[in-house]
Chain A
Amino acid sequence: MITTTGLTKVYRSRGREVTALDGVDLHVREGEVYGVIGQSGAGKSSLIRCVNLLERPTAGTVTVAGQDLTALAGRGPRAGRELRRARSRIGMVFQHFNLLSSRTVQDNVELPLEILGQPGRERSRTALELLDLVGLSDKAKAYPAQLSGGQKQRVGIARALAGDPEVLLSDEATSALDPETTRSILQLLRDLNRQLGLTVLLITHEMDVVKSVCDSAALMENGRIVESGTVSELLATQGSELAAALFPVGGEASGDDRTVVDVTFHGEAATQPVISQLSRIYTIDISILGAAIDTVGGHQVGRMRIELPGRYEDNVVPIGFLRERGLQIDVVGTPDREPVPAKEGAK
């Protein structure tokens, strides 16, 4: 639904060049919720703003719903008619809501329809329907200043949906909201994704957002996508930073001559009593440093950090046993001795 190839954005100011995007290839499938996560300055914001060409990429192409937007853009800084028409089919939700303070809630939702040139009666009908959809039908005549942050974002979402888009871009939509409101807004996005078949591309710096709504995710660092894939692909990837961040387990080794191993269970492996088997077969004492079971992207996943006596060299056989059982094993703190396989599954 959204594809970018070799997307590059270089900002030039006073002779200095800053590369915000460095050849980003992104592929968002139709009907999925795709999360791009990264720290501030990683280039997420530039990326999402390049998707509807609010920001002109320096190089690369952006295709949304089969339409090459970069080809529509033309040379000048101003957006031509065709690009504007394409933009009207891409909804966008902003971190700071960006509602017009001089207009009522209903008039804000009608704004995209005014731009599309719809007649008044149709506009207000659509606006009221959308406000009903986001649960704000009683606030149609209120002004944005009278609403709470979560309500404002609901208006922002209703407005983004007014043009009947196939794609919704969410630029840190929940970053200005408290955790409770964040959950309800994410739930709303998820519902819209399911009910309307809307493809959602969201950027965030909060792992929880990815965890609760995303089907797929990508990790951005320094203008590049360093990992990407569906959530289950990521979890199945050895040494995946995203998987570790999505699903953290804590605990330090109790001594130098110990081996700490992260075991990830998903799918069938989760039902087997592997740890007690391991203990019985190899007669070793296993201590559990940390463990958690959680739902990530709708899948149940367990993760456990265990400690085995002896160095890594002494534990090659038991670790091999765990791998044989279809578990995913990450040995903690031995990156040089444990060659991390190429992240093929993630790419």
Chain B
Amino acid sequence: MTRTDWSEMQPLLVQACGDTLYMVGWSTLIAVAGGLPLGILLVLTDRGGLLRNVVANKVIGQIVNIARSMPFIILMVALMTFTRWITGTTIGREAAIVPLAIGAIPFFARLVEAAVREVDGGLVEAVQSMGGNTWTVVRKVLVPESLPSLIAGTTTTIVALIGYSAMAGTVGAGGLGDIAIRYGYQRFETELMWITVAILAVVISVMQFAGDYAARSLHRRGGRSGPAPRLRLLKAKEPAPADVRKAA
């Protein structure tokens, strides 16, 4: 096994971490900006929605489904022309943001759709009975009431994007996935590969924890609407094993 020099590795890893966060950060922002309205539209245009429109609903739903089912690596290649048109290049971290964001928009849109559907229809009715229009319903009810779920969905999107960003490394976008492949796989520097794995694990855990915490603290004051976040679900299940023990 090749011995790896820490002083050589360090700047490499710092650069890679920065690249990953840069790509994930921007693509998350774009995914949220695009996926949030798309997800809300999916709910509003559905049967029984405020803007019910079967055709629009089917079209949006189909686009989202196709984009969702596309393997990311193929999407990346397929979007190369589009990427070049936007960023002027197909190589590098800026170029990777384009397919990452476009891949994540439908993903996030579906999560938004699920979160917004959880909002009690009675609340929508209440705002309508006060004379609110559709935009009021979106602004005052759908988004704030589903906020804990939306944050949980954003966390899931970030974690998925970290995974995708590793694939983006294969087209020269840099980042932690790129290090793991170039050094760990192609140069047999196993140690370096494990370090990147560890860093990725830490980054993902931190993101997940922060997301859960934010969702939970918002949810704590909330009442019925919105699904209970993960940790509360675990707590709710706790009594079950105790009962089993008692029975045994």
Contact = CB atoms under 8 A, between A and B. Distances in A.
Given A87-B129, A100-B145, A143-B222, 7 more contacts: A54-B128, A77-B52, A78-B133, A87-B130, A98-B120, A102-B218, A146-B221
Contacts of B241: none
Contacts of B123: 98, 100
Interface in B211-248: 218, 221-226
Contact of B144 (A79, A98, A102): A102
B40 interface: no
B11 interface: no
Interface string A144-155: 111000000000
B128 A87 contact: yes
B131 interface: yes
Given A54-B125, A94-B126, A115-B136, A102 B131 contact: no
A56 interface: no
A336 B52 CA distance: 53
Contacts of B222: 101-102, 143, 145
B128 A79 contact: yes
Interface of B: 50-52, 120, 122-123, 125-134, 136, 140-141, 144-145, 147, 218, 221-226
Sort A-B residue pairs by CB-CB distance and give the 10 closest, nearest first: A88-B131, A101-B223, A145-B223, A98-B126, A84-B131, A101-B222, A112-B130, A92-B129, A98-B122, A87-B131
Contact of B133 (A84, A86, A101, A163): A84
Contacts of A86: 131
Contacts of B141: 100
Contacts of B144: 100, 102-103
Contact of A114 (B126, B140, B145, B224): B140
A115 B132 contact: yes
A159 B122 CA distance: 15
Interface of A: 52, 54, 77-79, 84-88, 90, 92, 94, 96, 98-103, 111-112, 114-116, 143-146, 159, 163, 169
A90 B129 contact: yes
A77 B134 CA distance: 11
A111 B125 contact: no
A100 B137 CA distance: 11
Contacts of B51: 78
